[in-house]
Amino acid sequence: MLKRIFISSVLLIAILSFVISLLGGKNNDEAVVQMGNRVAVIRIEGPIMAGEATDGLFAENVASTGNIMAELRAAAKDKSVKAVLLRINSPGGSVTAAEEIGREIKRLKEETGKPVITSMGDTAASAGYWLAACSDKIYANSSTLTGSIGVYIPYMNTEELYKKIGISGTKIKSGEYKDILSNERPMTQSERDLLQKMVNEMYEQFVGVVSEGRKMPVDKVKSLADGRVYTGKQAKELGLVDEIGNYYDALDATGALIGSEGTPEVKEFKKQKPWQTIWGAEITDFIFGRITENLTKQTRTFEMQTPHAEG
């Protein structure tokens, strides 16, 4: 009986997959429905990393630039969306990823005039704060951890460990710096100077983003940008955050900006599961709905044939 259920389910998936391929893979396109004034909620959760929307299908806890930039573009294009709320819960991530998403936020504001508001969750630090600084207004909880304005490049020297276990490595390289950050040897002073220059350059860029977004003098930003983390309450006192409030406080305030009374209608971008990315959300729901229905019918039949011991 279980074998028959499994075979039926596999055949159903195979047939529907074939139908999808004939349709040209356009089942994942979302139809733009003209509705009242809506707020697009874009969630930035987990480490912020550069990558396309289809990269790392099972890395559901990563905020990829491909997904987030696509959602920002969709929010900009949708005429029913009048404002965007970024819900950020991230410890930070790649400088390049923050730069990519930040540029898209800025483009959305400049080209559409739609306001962008940030609501911070547990954490919105480092690259997470970079993106928050690109918005028009920032809400944080008193206990939110934010700030951590700064840049670093990690480096680990395992040379002594390798010696203890009898491993030695060498490289034939084309230039002096080709194996920079190699963990098999100490870093040279010239390498350290080169990397420090890169870190300083990216740090100045980060400071510039905060200075522009918060309308704060560069010198003041630098006095706060020593890498330390602030609570939401501290960040508000320092001018890094505008208001203390939770997600719904930020959502209601965003709705008020576009003339909505109370909590506004929301356009939510749901994170797709790996199989939804491959087949499309609507088709996936249909497939698994049919499988569930089939399994339920087969299970009921199986239960009727199975002896029960009931009181």
* Contact yes or no for 85/40 (Cβ under 8 A): yes
* Contact yes or no for 47/1 (Cβ under 8 A): no
Q: Is 143 part of the annotated catalytic residue set?
A: no
- Indicate left, alpha or beta for 262 from its phi (over 0: left) and psi (-120 to 50: alpha): left
Structure-block tokens of residue 55: 């990269």
Alpha-carbon torsion (184, 187, 190, 195), positive or negative: positive
Q: 9, 90, 119, 126: which is the annotated catalytic residue? A: 126
* Contact yes or no for 291/12 (Cβ under 8 A): yes
Residue 106 identity: K
What is the secondary structure of 36-75 as a DSSP string? SSEEEEEEEES-EE---TTSSTT-TT-EEHHHHHHHHHHH
Give the phi and the psi of residue 241 in degrees, each rounded to 5: -135, 150
* Contact yes or no for 227/199 (Cβ under 8 A): no
The whole-angstrom separation of Cα 136 and Cα 177 is 42
* Crossing angle for the helix pair 2-22 and 281-305, to the nearest 10 degrees: 160
Q: Is 126 part of the annotated catalytic residue set?
A: yes
Structure-block tokens of residue 261: 């009374």
C-alpha separations of 36 from 21, 41, 77, 264, 291 in Å = 35, 15, 15, 9, 36
Q: 77, 79, 178, 297: which is the annotated catalytic residue? A: 178
Which residues form the catalytic set?
126, 178
